[in-house]
């Protein structure tokens, strides 16, 4: 027996325990150990039943994802074969589940004859989030156990189902109090002593038979998932596998599932989504801030400025159960900010995604003041006032005077120099940027900006806080626009130049939308409000390098008072109450007149040119950021773009996507664009180096 699997005999019941910390991944050693344990139990007359469980925090998080794509491929036994043999056992096999049973871990449990779970357990088949389908019988056994509609929801969403709901659905048989292994051993004995028949999921048909008569279930489900699954292959493949469970005998359905799994696991989409899985876990690892760096307790918080961002930021604290005080310049501004918070919660309650009681609890955690003195004892302050350096330094000076010495002072600035803000205080080691994304109570990303003097303790505390308030924190360095917005400017700048050269906003938006972004740059600008960017550009006008090309199109539109959806028109126009962008001839005429005024002869712009001219400079800027050490890893940049800008997860983020395209291709196009369109497009040294070496960002 390998160390990965141990067996203890409890009076005729073999308890088989998986040992592969931290998540009991079903890697090769576990699979061979399991096979040996089951074969031994099958042939040992003294063993009358088997219980399978996992050591440590959980039952199992499924297949070892790091094995995928490896050459040579993972050795036999493969999981499907193992589970088929287990299910066919004549001796009862009981799964004793705690923590989580996910993916292949839950498929293992589905092969057992009974599934018992401890309270607090979560089970599920999240393979779709990795760009694959469950590959060890999950798409064939689960519909037979819980029916097609429920199986479609569970498998296509990839969500983790809490124990009580899982029992109600039939995913598990019972939630047991006390030690789940003891309960499983007792259950096994009952099965033996009472000669109870063994229930094999693969043999069940009644639940799938119901769907056999109503194939429209799948059509309706495909319609329902279309928007969320846009661009992803795996959700559609999951539906097709469940359809096979309805229309094919078990063995054939299993073969269909296996063929689908093997095709997808080798796909670029799955490679991209697996990259995102690991990259998301890597962002928390900061070489010069060791895992055991002591953090400061964050039990209370404050937010200064309760506008578009401040309100959402305050909600994050309340949602995490942390009392938060919002501060504003006047009672009127305070009331306006609190009203928006209340409206946002009420909207969530009306959609049934939050109970009224929870809303009241959260509002109860939000207090309001116009007196700085009320912030004296909070553990952290997030400043979200207008994007003006003078104002921010004034606010930080006041906070430094009133807040207790150990309080962390953070700024939600989207572009300004955190070091200069810190210079307004006597505690630069406790000053950090915490750049939330709009809407701040929804978007998962926090770009945490370390200043030159920000201490490891402050960094560790804020990275931990990101997790506590349900965000993905990525540590970045100080520069104009940090990581996300700096790359956004490089892409947006070229889009504006393309407008002057022959394109129109709707064409560019369509190309970027079809590429997989939630929306194009102009629809996004209209949503966020064009005045925010205009205020920033005006602030930068004095320092803008005169030798570099600058497009005036955006400024000209703002000068017309067109700030986007909030004014009913921006780059596009909007019918009252509608968020659907409509191409506006007035804007097209304005753009044509700007081209003429600049002596630019407008030309046909292809969609491919738009994609290259927008996305390659974005990647190139990412390479410059890595060159300057302002992001730790290419994967961190990918996570910033996936969670901050909705970059399609099935492309893995801009840096991973660049490797799929090939850095040589991107470098060659950047060189051509640089020759044709000037300095903004100079290839980054890192891009040049890697392209010439035939390497990718993934090799860093």
Report CA-CA distances (Å) from 81 to 3, 111, 339: 22, 11, 58
Is 127 in the active site?
Answer: yes
429-488: which residues touch ligand T1G (CB under 6 A)? none
Among residue numbers 107 through 146, which ones bind ligand T1G (CB under 6 A)? 107, 126-127, 130, 132, 134-136, 138
Task: Report the DSSP beta bridge partners of residue 573.
Answer: 569, 582
Report d(CA 88, CA 418) in Å as an integer. 63
Judged by CB under 6 A, does residue 103 bind ligand T1G?
yes
Cβ count within 10 A of residue 538: 11
What does the alpha-carbon distance between residue 62 and residue 79 come to, in Å, rounded to a whole number?
10
Q: How far apart are the first and last CA of the chain?
A: 39
Greatest Cα pair distance in the chain: 92
Residue 288, Ramachandran bin (φ over 0: left; ψ between -120 and 50: alpha; else beta) = alpha
Q: Which of 442, 513, 488 is nearest to 231 (CA)?
A: 513
Residues 250-279 that bind ligand T1G (CB under 6 A): 278
Q: Which is nearer to ligand T1G, 61 or 637 (CB)?
A: 61
* Residue 79 found at the interface with ligand T1G (CB under 6 A): yes
Displacement of CA 270 from its chain's centroid (Å): 15
Binder among 16, 30, 34, 65 for ligand T1G (CB under 6 A): 65
Catalytic pick among 87, 107, 243, 612: 107
Structure token digits, residue 601: 């002869």
**CB hemisphere CA count around 138 (13 angstroms):** 35
CB 69 to ligand T1G: min, Å: 12
Answer for the pair 347, 372: CB distance below 8 angstroms, yes or no.
no
The one catalytic residue among 39, 67, 127, 692: 127
Binding-site size, ligand NAD (CB under 6 A): 27
Q: For residue 281, state whether it binds ligand T1G (rule: CB under 6 A).
A: yes
Number of residues that bind ligand T1G (CB under 6 A): 25
Stretch of 101-109, 419-427, 443-451, 542-550 contacting ligand T1G, by CB under 6 A? 101-109
C-alpha separations of 115 from 14, 17, 178 in Å: 16, 15, 15
Minimum CB–partner distance for residue 641 and ligand T1G (Å): 20
For residues 330-366, b (16+ Cβ closer than 10 Å) or e, as one string?
A: eeebbeebbebbeebbeebbeeeebeeeebeebbebb
For position 102 contacting ligand T1G by CB under 6 A, the verdict is yes
How crowded is residue 518: how many other Cβ atoms within 10 Å of its Cβ? Answer: 14
Min. distance of Cβ 390 from ligand NAD in angstroms? Answer: 10
Comparison of 511 and 642: residue with beta carbon closer to ligand NAD: 642
**Does residue 151 interact with ligand NAD by CB under 6 A?**
no
484 touching ligand NAD, by CB under 6 A: no
Asked if 49 and 24 touch (Cβ cutoff 8 Å), the reply is no
Least Å from the CB of residue 161 to ligand T1G: 13
Q: What does 527 bind: ligand T1G, ligand NAD, none (CB cut-off 5 to 8 Å by kind)?
A: none
Pattern 342-381, ligand T1G, x by CB under 6 A:
----------------------------------------
Q: Which two tokens stand for residue 201?
A: 């999921």
Taking CB under 6 A as the criterion, the residue among 64, 107, 257, 387 binding ligand NAD is 387
Helix extents (H) in 425-483: 456-468
Q: Which does 240 bind (CB under 5 to 8 A by kind): ligand T1G, ligand NAD, none?
A: none
Query: What phi-psi label fits residue 196: left (phi over 0), alpha (psi between -120 and 50 degrees) or beta?
Result: beta
Which one of ligand T1G, ligand NAD, none is in contact with 269 (Cβ closer than 5 to 8 A by kind)?
A: none
Which residue has tokens 């927008």?
A: 614
From the list ligand NAD, ligand T1G, none, which binds 65 (C-beta under 5 to 8 Å, kind-based)?
ligand T1G
| Minimum gap (Å) between residue 201 Cβ and ligand T1G | 15
Interface residue with ligand NAD, options 385, 463, 472, 669 (CB under 6 A): 385
CA-nearest of 515, 523, 499 to 641 is: 515
Q: What is the DSSP letter of 605?
A: -
Q: Is 681 in the site for ligand NAD (CB under 6 A)?
A: no
Quick one: what does residue 387 bind among ligand T1G, ligand NAD, none, with the CB cut-off 5 to 8 Å set by partner type? Answer: ligand NAD
Per the listing, tokens 């006597």 go with: 426
The minimum distance between CB 522 and ligand T1G, in angstroms, equals 36
What is the edge-to-edge ordering of all strands in the sheet holding 100-102? 100-102, 122-124, 161-162
Instruction: Using the structure block, give the residue that is written with the tokens 């959402």.
Output: 312
Which of 281/404 has CB closer to ligand T1G?
Answer: 281
CB of 143 to ligand T1G, least distance (A): 15
Return the number of the residue (67 or 153) whose C-beta is nearest ligand T1G.
67
The contacts of residue 546 (CB under 8 Å, 6+ apart) are none
Given candidates 306, 315, 422, 517, which one binds ligand NAD under the rule CB under 6 A?
A: 306
Residue 528 near ligand NAD by CB under 6 A: yes
Q: Which of 239, 220, 94, 95 is nearest to 158 (CA)?
A: 239
Residues 592-611 that bind ligand T1G (CB under 6 A): none
Q: Which stretch binds ligand T1G (CB under 6 A): 56-64, 375-383, 406-414, 661-669?
A: 56-64
Per rule CB under 6 A, is residue 412 in the interface with ligand NAD? yes
User: Which residue number is nearest to ligand T1G in terms of Cβ?
Assistant: 103
Q: Which of residues 437-466 bind ligand NAD (CB under 6 A)?
A: 437-438
Stretch that binds ligand NAD, among 108-116, 199-207, 387-395, 606-614 (CB under 6 A): 387-395
Distance CA 428, CA 246 (A): 63
Residue 440 in contact with residue 309, Cβ under 8 Å?
Answer: yes
Helix and strand totals (H; E) in the chain: 29, 17
Does the protein bind ligand NAD through residue 329 (CB under 6 A)?
yes
Residues belonging to the chain: 700
Strand-pairing partners, residue 327, are 304, 369
Active site residue 586: no
Question: By C-beta, is 274 or 492 nearer to ligand T1G?
Answer: 274
- C-alpha pair distances (Å), 657 with each of 121, 272, 530: 36, 8, 29
Distance between CA atoms of 19 and 7, rounded to whole angstroms? 11
Pick between residue 316 and residue 412 the one whose CB is nearest to ligand NAD: 412
Distance from C-alpha of 696 to C-alpha of 660, rounded to nearest angstrom: 9
Shortest gap between Cβ of 58 and ligand T1G (angstroms)?
6
Q: Which of 121, 202, 413, 494 binds ligand NAD (CB under 6 A)?
A: 413
CB of 524 to ligand T1G, least distance (A): 30
Which residues sit at the interface with ligand T1G, rule CB under 6 A?
Answer: 22-23, 25, 61-66, 79, 100, 102-104, 107, 126-127, 130, 132, 134-136, 138, 278, 281
Q: What residues act catalytically?
A: 107, 127
Which residues sit at the interface with ligand NAD, rule CB under 6 A?
Answer: 304-310, 327-329, 333, 337, 384-387, 391, 395, 412-414, 435-438, 528, 532
């Amino acid at each position: 027996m390998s160390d990965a699997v141990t067996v203890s005999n409890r009076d005729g019941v073999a308890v088989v325990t998986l040992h592969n910390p931290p998540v009991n991944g079903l890697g090769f050693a576990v699979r061979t150990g399991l096979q040996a344990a089951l074969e031994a139990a099958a042939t040992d007359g003294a063993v009358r039943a088997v219980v399978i469980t996992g050591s440590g925090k959980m039952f199992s998080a499924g297949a070892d994802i790091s094995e995928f794509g490896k050459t040579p491929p993972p050795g036999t036994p493969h999981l499907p074969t193992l589970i088929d043999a287990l299910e066919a056992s004549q001796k009862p096999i009981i799964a004793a589940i705690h923590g989580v049973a996910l993916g292949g871990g839950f498929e293992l449990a589905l092969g057992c004859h009974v599934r018992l779970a401890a309270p607090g357990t979560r089970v599920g088949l999240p393979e779709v989030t990795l760009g694959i389908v469950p590959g060890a019988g999950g798409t064939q056994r689960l519909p037979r156990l819980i029916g097609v509609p429920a199986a479609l929801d569970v498998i296509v969403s990839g969500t983790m189902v809490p124990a009580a709901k899982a029992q109600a659905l039939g995913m598990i048989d019972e939630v047991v109090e006390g030690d789940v292994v003891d309960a499983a051993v007792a259950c096994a004995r009952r099965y033996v002593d009472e000669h109870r028949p063994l229930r094999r999921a693969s043999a069940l048909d009644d639940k799938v038979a119901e769907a056999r008569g109503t194939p429209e279930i799948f059509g309706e489900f495909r319609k329902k998932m279309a928007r969320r699954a846009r661009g992803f292959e795996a959700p559609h493949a999951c539906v097709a596998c469940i359809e096979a469970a309805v229309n094919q005998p078990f063995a054939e359905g299993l073969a269909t599932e296996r063929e689908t799994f093997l095709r997808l696991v080798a796909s670029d989409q799955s490679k991209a989504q697996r990259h995102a899985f690991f990259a998301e876990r890597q962002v928390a690892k900061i070489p010069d801030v060791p895992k055991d760096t002591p953090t400061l307790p964050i039990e209370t918080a404050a937010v200064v400025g309760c506008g578009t961002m401040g309100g959402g930021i305050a909600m994050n604290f309340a949602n995490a159960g942390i009392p938060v005080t919002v501060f504003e310049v006047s009672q009127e501004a305070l009331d306006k900010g609190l009203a928006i918070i209340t409206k946002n919660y009420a909207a969530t309650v009306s959609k049934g995604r939050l109970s009224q009681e929870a809303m009241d609890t959260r509002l109860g955690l939000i207090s309001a003041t116009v007196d700085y003195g009320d912030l004296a004892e909070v553990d952290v302050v997030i400043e979200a006032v207008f994007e003006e350096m003078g104002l921010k330094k004034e606010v930080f000076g006041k906070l430094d005077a009133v807040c207790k010495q150990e309080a962390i002072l953070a700024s939600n600035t989207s572009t300004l120099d955190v070091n200069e803000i810190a210079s307004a205080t006597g505690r630069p080691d406790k000053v950090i940027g915490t750049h939330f994304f709009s809407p701040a109570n929804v978007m998962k990303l926090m770009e945490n900006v370390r200043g030159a003097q920000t201490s490891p303790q402050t960094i560790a505390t804020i990275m931990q806080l990101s997790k506590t308030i349900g965000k993905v924190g990525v540590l970045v360095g100080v520069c104009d626009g940090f990581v996300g917005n700096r790359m956004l400017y490089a892409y947006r700048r070229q889009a504006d130049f393309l407008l002057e050269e022959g394109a129109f906003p709707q064409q560019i938006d369509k190309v970027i939308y079809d590429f997989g972004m939630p929306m194009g740059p102009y629809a996004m600008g209209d949503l966020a409000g064009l005045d925010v960017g205009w205020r920033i550009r005006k602030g930068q006008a004095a320092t803008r390098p005169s030798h570099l090309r600058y497009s005036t199109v955006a400024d000209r539109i703002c000068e017309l008072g067109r700030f986007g959806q909030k004014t009913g028109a921006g780059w596009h126009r909007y019918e009252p109450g509608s968020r659907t962008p409509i191409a506006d001839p007035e804007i097209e005429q304005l753009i044509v007149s700007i081209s003429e005024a600049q002596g630019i002869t407008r030309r046909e712009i292809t969609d491919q040119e738009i994609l290259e001219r927008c996305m390659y400079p974005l990647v190139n800027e990412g390479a410059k950021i890595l060159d300057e050490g302002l992001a730790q890893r290419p994967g961190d940049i990918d996570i910033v773009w996936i969670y901050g800008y909705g970059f399609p997860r099935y492309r893995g983020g801009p840096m991973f996507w660049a490797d799929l395209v090939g850095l040589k291709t991107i470098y060659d196009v950047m060189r051509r664009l640089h020759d044709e369109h000037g300095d903004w497009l100079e290839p980054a040294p890192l891009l040049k180096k890697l392209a010439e070496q035939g390497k990718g960002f993934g090799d860093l």
